[in-house]
Amino acid sequence: MPTEIFLIKVAKAIIEITGMFMIGQGVLYLFAGNARHQNFVYQLFAKATAPLMMLARLVSPKVIADRHVWIVALAILFWLYVVVMYLYVGACADHPGPWCARES
């Protein structure tokens, strides 16, 4: 597997995992209510998504309330995923092979 495709796949996996952490944190937010800050899993998800949330807070205007920063973070994840998939398609066009087979 070419190094370029490997690095793109690693970036894609990190983006997907971060998205799953955000979804899990959102589900726990709904189910745990005010006790979520004592929930170990919620704290773990919050630590995993903290760098993305800090980036979202950094790029968002000050008018955006802290409770809405997660929407900016999801938008950043979405556009990062679009860019990575664009790079992946381009890399597979340059280096066709079994590593570029359709993934299920």
16, 23, 35: which is closest to 80 by C-alpha? 16
- pLDDT tens digits for 8-50? 999 999 999 999 999 988 888 888 778 888 888 888 998 999 9
Contact of 74 with 22, CB cutoff 8 Å: yes
CA nearest neighbour of 84 among 1, 22, 4, 3: 4
42-91 pLDDT, tens digit each: 889 989 999 999 999 999 888 888 888 988 999 999 999 999 999 999 98
